[in-house]
Amino acid sequence: MSPLDRASTAVVTGGSRGIGQAIADRLRADGHRVTVLDVQAPEAGSGDWLPCDVTEPEQLESAMATVAERGGGIDVLVNNAGLISPRRSYLETDKAELLRYLTVNAVGYALATQAAHPWLVASDRGCVVNVASRTFFTGGPGQLAYVASKGAVLGMTRVLARELGAHEVTVNAVLPGQVATPGTEQYNTEDDFDRTMAQQAIRRRTRPDDLAGLVSFLCGPDARMLTGQTLVCDGGGLLH
């Protein structure tokens, strides 16, 4: 079966909750055949799911092969699986914590892209979207390990855009602001969200479906010449 003879097949890592779930739901609504790779099962009725730890290459390779066999290939990869951090001084951030965040939030993205590579380059519409964070630009005081890992994602995005461009595979990064999800609400108060919103040009909270809409565009036919870019979705909180 050639790519043109089938529906697009998409993989979303970390797609069982929050932003990842919103992205998976939107891509599914757009007509993609979506499989979520996550260590946590999605809610009932949320579509295909394979248990997978993105820090384990063997698990990723097995999962990607299963997805490709079921769908006839892999056209879209959304790297979203990651850890959110509490705030603490960099002096209290030890080596183990640094390595844990870098391994999950950055190395996991690289490993997932490597595992999907054979099918992405064979597709006529290959697309990789990396979910990063605007804290790379704002500094995110108290989040050394988290911000360092997201900065690595931005560098990786540019390298992959260059390397995969020869196969017309697009690679872009989306950077959410402070999105209200169970993960972010664990470490932020209502006052924190209100302070962030007060700095935005559009003064409402950024929602998971705002990010999902941006990812939908990047995975669609109108974004085929857009690659290597860093797109901030935060209602104009960060202007650059």
At 75-125, the pLDDT tens digits run: 999 999 999 878 889 999 999 999 999 999 999 999 999 999 999 999 999
C-alpha separations of 19 from 16, 81, 89, 103, 184 in Å: 9, 10, 27, 20, 11
The pLDDT assigned to 11 comes to: 99
Q: Tell me the one-letter amino acid at 160.
A: L
At 13-53, the pLDDT tens digits run: 999 999 999 999 999 999 999 999 999 998 765 679 999 99
| Catalytic residue of the set 90, 101, 109, 146 | 146
The pLDDT assigned to 3 comes to: 47
pTM: 0.91
- 146 an active-site residue? yes
b/e sequence 207-224, b meaning 16+ C-beta within 10 Å: bbebbbebbbbbbbeebe
Query: Residue 79's beta-bridge partner residues?
Result: 130
At 156-207, the pLDDT tens digits run: 999 999 999 999 999 999 999 877 666 666 666 676 666 766 777 787 888 8
The rounded distance, in Å, linking the Cα atoms of 227 and 42 is 30
Domains of the chain plus CATH, in order, are 3-222 (3.40.50.720)
